Structure 1
Amino acid sequence: MSTTETPDSQAVPVRHEVVRCYSELASTMSLMASLARAKEWERLPELEARCAAVVDRLKAIGTVSLDAVQLEQVRNLIDCIHSDQEEVCELVKPQLESLMAKMGQLQKRSELGKAYGTPY
């Protein structure tokens, strides 16, 4: 540390990184909600992976004291993230249930085919 740097001045870039990470999570979750509303499921796994990478980055940063403005920004971003995440879950859940039902039907057909020699 140079004589002009203080521990607090080193924390400033980290604080900005924390806010940037939450901002990226919020924008990604918003995009996921838009895609889920449009039933464009194919991009969701890629965006989920992006969210996981950002969460990993936040974990790597660790605990950081934010100033009042940054703390308010992060709180607002977290509210948006939670809201969009709930919407995505509600929209994806019926799709997963449908997929599971179809997989169950295919499994039964396969078992019947093996038991009775009928190819399916």
Structure 2
Amino acid sequence: MSESMEVQIYESVADVTGEMLLAAREHDWERLAQLEQRCADFVQQLKSCTEEHLSGPSLQRKIASIKKILADDREIRNLVDPWMVKLSAMISSNSNERRLGSSYRQ
């Protein structure tokens, strides 16, 4: 993979994580899931290649992309984690209600 292609993929991942952050802010979980798959596809491209030694501006672009990816990921987790806790509690509550309901019928 060429140096510029590697950097372009990192920048594409950074763009997608930015879109993911917007989707999370809007509570658009379906869009977030679609974008996660798109991001995973780019990451797979990076995994399937040998990493080239980058220098100068290319290295700086890669570093800037990684910093943005990490910052977006952190904020996405801050937005999604409370929702996941709430969803887990709802599922657990629903499961408990079903168990209670079935024990009364017996």
Q: What TM bracket, shorter-length normalisation?
A: over 0.9
- Partner of residue 74, structure 1: 62
The code of the aligned residue for 1:24 comes to S
- Partner of residue 5, structure 1: none
Indicate if the aligned counterparts of 1:33 and 1:84 stay in contact, CA closer than 8 A. yes
The code of the aligned residue for 1:73 comes to R
Q: Distance in 1 between matches of 2:105 and 2:50?
A: 59
- Partner of residue 96, structure 1: 84
1:61 aligns with 2:49: yes
Relative contact order (alpha carbons < 8 A, sep ≥ 6): 1 or 2 greater?
2
Could you tell me the TM-score, scaled by structure 2's length? 0.94
Query: What number of residue pairs does the alignment pair up?
Result: 106
Instruction: Give the Å deviation of 1:68.
Output: 1.2
- Partner of residue 44, structure 1: 32
Residues 78-119 of structure 1 deviation map (CA, whole Å, 9 limit, x = unaligned):
11111100000000001100000000011001101111129x
Uncovered stretches (5+) of structure 2, i.e. residues with no partner: none
Percent identity between the aligned chains? 30
